[in-house]
Structure 1
Amino acid sequence: MSTNNSTSSNTTSAMTGHGRVVILGAGESGVGAAKLAQAKGFDVFVSDYGVITDKYKAALEKLSIPFESEKHSEELILNANEVIKSPGIPPTAPIIKKLVEKRIPVISEIEFAKRYTNAKTICITGSNGKSTTSLLTYHILKNAGLNVGLAGNIGQSFAAQVATEDYEYYVLEISSFMLDDMFAFKADIAVLLNITPDHLDRYDYKLENYAASKMRIVQNQTAEDVFIYCADDEESLKAISLIKPVAKAFPFSITEKVELGAYLEETTIHILTEPNNQLTMSISDLALQGKHNIYNSMASGIVSKVLELRNETIRESMGNFKNIEHRLEHVAKISGIDFINDSKATNVNSTWYALESMTSDVVLIMGGVDKGNDYNMLKDLVKSKVKAIVCLGKDNKRIHDAFEDDVEVIVNTFSADEAAQIAFHLAKRGDTVLLSPACASFDLFKNYEDRGNQFKAAVREL
């Protein structure tokens, strides 16, 4: 699903630091790319079709980088030698189509930034668990004393850090949208956690298109590089069989023993990247609990062993890690009812993981922008664990259709306050109110963080 079918001649000239670089999108990645492009001597222009926030406006003004907001002026964009675009801009956007027609290379901030660093890159992708695994990996590497940065879909932009820091390693959380605009980029260590239906609206509603996008994580890898993947994930195995990666492969599994990689034996994880150098750890000692987090911990553990970190350091870091905000985050216990914020669950599979880890009856708050969701995979868990569904979104018809036979109560709400109040009234002592939307947030909120923060504020007002 690449937006770029042009030649690389412009790219080569752009690398010398002469020529015009246009950046589409003035968020974290766009402004970071602008900083790096300016530092490398390019003529830089930033264009955002939406409103640029005050924070990013101020950053661009401070550097005297010209920009425009709420429009894309073709005369200022179509004269670029190269364009760096925000991952959120789809290939169907009119300005992107015109750039492709004119054979102007369109790349991601990650692709651009990698040209200017010799740091080793640990690149983590997957439909679910990317942020948790990236943060855990970064936590282990930092604790081990490595000079490491964290970037990509998380934290400060990769380009901004390349412009101002001198890290020897980067842990990069990489989305399929980023991968679509990465061409010459190579991951030293590539991690594929899983492939489940997500963002299918961007991939012609075809899982195979989305899977092909995810597999770009291994492009340009050689036999000297490393590829870590889940041997229990059918879609990953299917996609891998089509690509046949050449890097050293380390699978992880909780159902079968693997020679090199990671596997679960009863309640003990075994991680080994060389035949006689094994790390073992009880799953009860992991900071992250739940089946999905065993997978995430295994992936991070393999990365750590590949980098030859000490077993003691890996164990200690896996045991004291604190998970990210908005991912199964405990908010409060009110009148014996637990409130959990899992706003980062923007697809069905994430919500499945959240429900699977629940040990009490659940009042589930879900809904938002449906990305072509198939709710069938949730039906058994909803039947066995969910007593009521509180919809939080503008259009909840598909949720009603999917679950009307499985739960007695399905209620529509249109704000975090209303959702929290109604869920509180539907729950009783010992129950859990779980915000795990399975949908994007853009109908009622700025993003999943805004949705999670509004939910937490609403819970604290109860």
Structure 2
Amino acid sequence: MKIVVLGGGESGCGAAYLAKKKGLEVFLSDKSAIKEHYKQFLTENNIEFEEGNHNEERILNADWIVKSPGIPKKTEIINKIHQKGIRLSSEIEFASEFTDAKIIAITGSNGKTTTTSLIYHILKNDGLNVGLGGNIGHSFAKQVADENHEYYVLEVSSFQLDDIQNFRPYISLLLNLSKDHLDQYNYDYEEYALAKFRITENQENDNFFIYNKDDEMSKNILEKLEIKAKMIPFSMNEKLTEGGFVDENQLVIKLKDEFSMKVDELSLLGNHNVANSLAASIAGKILEINNESIRNSLMTFQAVEHRLEFVAEIEGVKYINDSKATNVNAAYYALESMKNPTVWIVGGVDKGNDYAEIEDLVKRKVKAIVCLGLDNEKIIDFFKNKKELIYSTSSMEEAVKVSKSLSKSGDTVLLSPCCASFDLFKSYEDRGNQFKEQVLKN
């Protein structure tokens, strides 16, 4: 069988490595330059590859093509693959064909990385043999090739779910839905939502689907879809007879037996993280992890880098790095969790943001807005009659300097940009790292 892998990053190299290890004929093609350490990896493992080009004849002669999630689905080469009827899969689909491990797969518009990491922490803390992959950590395919895990906890994006055929997690979680990546889904919110729901399409009645009962779009979609998996809800707004909910500052899970703990004991900040903790706890209970172990994991989990990450407290001012907040919904959660007057650093590449969604929160929580981007006009125009203190900056150094001058003891400086990072930074990680570096400068 001829396997062609498109994309020479973490997932692509992992998929090519797994194919090679399984004795399949494999060729990797990347239209851009491949990073040096990945080239070295491919060479060391005798995997044939090309960069800066797509050899169409060779690609279209494949039996099975594995596509990296970063390649847009409307590109010319993808159209030609579809026309030829060649099987096109994501790395998670490809790798899942070569393992019998139980897969716990997490998707949603926000909170995926935190919840995936939290579930991994719960399993690991209980002594289970577990791997972490998908959109986070090391390639799932490479782990399947080299490590014999009994469980995999995978963060899964809509782009990866677009390219599945048989992928069937033991437990799937859909945390929430909000408008994101609509440019890849014909600017149709429902089309994007349906892509997320593909996480459960191959599940059977011996599988589990954990979903957010408070999420409006999820409710709408669930009225139209027939889900075969056992559905278990969580809610922040209502008590449930089965599932997870909050009752008088207690996090409560009701499945076969009951688990509860005080919300104040959770290591994570913010209401959205209470919801994430509910979802993660349900997964733990399904896997029959005992209550004490789940409680211990929820109390000891460390926030994921760039997601409401506490950086420092300097002269009474707290600095929080939420660089991963690349859409309005993510920034909403961050602002909602702020307890003190907040200097808000916002801006970057706008993805069609509607700032009306956070207008009320900004009025109540934010004392000053510091815009950070090459083009701050849209943010300034929206908030100019709503907030007196609005500043425009075009570098992280300047943004932090202005924020420090505006804040006093008892305040919080929050980087929660609402936007993509590519105008001034290599990635949201680069943006977050620069923020931390500038905060910690004398």
| Residue of structure 2 aligned with 1:63, choices 42, 45, 54 | 45
Q: Scaled by the length of structure 1, what TM-score is found?
A: 0.93
Give the Å deviation of 1:69. 2.0
Match of 2:123 among 111, 135, 141: 141
What is the alpha-carbon distance in structure 2 between the residues aligned to residue 410 and residue 84 of structure 1?
Answer: 47
1:224 alignment partner, one of 206, 214, 223: 206
For residue 321 of structure 1, the aligned residue among 293, 301, 305 is 301
Match of 2:188 among 194, 199, 206: 206
Query: Which of the numbers 73, 83, 87 marks the counterpart of 1:105?
Result: 87
Q: Deviation per CA, 1:175-212: give whole Å up to 9, x if none.
A: 11111111211111111110111111211221111111
Task: Confirm or deny that 1:303 pairs with 2:283.
Answer: yes
Alignment of structure 1 residues 10-159 onto 2, 5 Å: 19-159=1-141
Greater Cα offset, 203-212 or 405-414: 405-414
**Counterpart secondary structure, 1:89:** coil
Partner of 2:421: 441
Q: Is the 8 A contact 2:335 2:361 kept in 1?
A: yes
Q: 2:313 aligns with which of 328, 333, 346?
A: 333
Percent of pairs with identical residues = 55
Supply the AA of the counterpart residue of 1:73. N
2:172 aligned to which of 181, 185, 190: 190
After TM superposition, list the pairs within 5 Å mapping 1:364-443 onto structure 2: 364-443=344-423
Using the TM superposition, give the Cα deviation of residue 20 of structure 1 relative to its aligned residue in structure 2, in angstroms. 1.7
Three-state SS of the structure 1 residue aligned to 2:438 is helix
Alignment of 1:250-329 (within 5 A): 250-274=232-256, 277-329=257-309
Residues in 2 aligned to 1:330 and 1:95: alpha-carbon distance in whole angstroms:
43
Instruction: Tell me which moved more, 368-377 or 32-41.
Output: 368-377
Partner of 1:7: none
Tell me the amino acid that sits aligned with residue 337 of structure 1: V
Aligned to 2:323: 343
> Which letter maps to 2:280?
S
Q: Residue in 1 aligned with 2:231?
A: 249
Q: CA deviation at 1:426?
A: 2.5
The answer to whether the Cα contact below 8 Å between 2:4 and 2:65 also exists between their aligned partners in 1 is yes
Shift of 1:388: 2.2
Residue identity matched to 1:412: S
Partner Cα separation in structure 1 for residue 350 and residue 94 of structure 2: 32
CA distance in 2, matches of 1:39, 1:174: 24
SS at match of 1:238: helix
Establish whether residue 181 from structure 1 lines up as the match of residue 163 from structure 2.
Answer: yes
In structure 1, how many angstroms separate the alpha carbons of the residues matched to 2:361 and 2:237?
Answer: 21
Unaligned runs of 5+ residues in structure 1 are 1-18
Equivalents in 2 of 1:405, 1:383: separation in Å? 11
Q: Which amino acid aligns with 1:209?
A: E
How far apart in 2 are the matches of 1:107 and 1:250?
A: 28
Deviations 1:201-229 (A, max 9, x none): 21122111111111101111111110111
SS in 1 for 2:260: strand
Q: Do the aligned residues in 1 keep the contact of 2:269 with 2:308 (CA within 8 Å)?
A: no
3-state SS, counterpart of residue 438 of structure 1: coil
CA distance in 2, matches of 1:176, 1:104: 21
Task: Give 1:35's aligned amino acid.
Answer: Y
Q: Deviations over 1:225-255 (max 9, x none)?
A: 1011111111111122211312111111121
C-alpha distance in structure 1 between counterparts of 2:24 and 2:378, whole Å: 48
TM-score scaled by length of structure 2: 0.97
How many angstroms does 1:430 deviate by? 2.3
Q: Which deviates the most, 43-52 or 340-349?
A: 43-52
- Deviation for aligned residue 1:130: 0.7
Give the aligned partner of residue 455 of structure 1.
435
Alignment equivalent of 1:235, drawn from 193, 217, 223:
217
**Counterpart amino acid of 1:239?**
I
Deviation at 1:31, TM superposition (A): 0.8
Once the two structures are TM-superposed, the CA of residue 341 in structure 1 deviates from its matched residue by 0.6
Q: Is the 8 A contact 1:215 1:240 kept in 2?
A: no
Distance 1:71 1:368, change over 3 A: farther
2: CA distance, partners of 1:148 / 1:187: 14
Structure-2 separation of matches of 1:176 and 1:362: 33
For the Cα contact (< 8 Å) 1:205–1:372, is it kept in 2?
no
Does structure 1 conserve the Cα–Cα contact (< 8 Å) formed by 2:234 and 2:245? yes
* Residues 248-293 of structure 1: CA deviation (Å, up to 9, x unaligned): 111111211111111111111221222xx11111111111232111
Q: How much is the aligned-residue C-alpha RMSD, in angstroms?
A: 1.3
Alpha-carbon distance, 1:416 to partner: 1.7
Once the two structures are superposed, residues 354-404 of structure 1 have per-residue CA deviations (whole angstroms, 9 ceiling, x without a partner) of: 000111121111112222222111101111122222222222222123222
Local SS of the residue matching 1:309: coil
Distance 1:361 1:273 in 2: 40
How far off its partner does 1:70 sit? 2.4
Deviation at 1:93, TM superposition (A): 1.2
Moved over 3 A (4+): none
d(CA) in 1 for partners of 2:185, 2:380: 26
Amino acid at match of 1:422: V
| AA at the equivalent of 1:174 | V
Q: Which amino acid aligns with 1:301?
A: S
Residue aligning to 1:11: none
Counterpart code for 1:428: K
Q: Which residue identity lines up with residue 454 of structure 1 in the other structure?
A: Q
Stretch moving more, 44-53 or 168-177:
44-53
Distance 1:73 1:211 in 2: 34
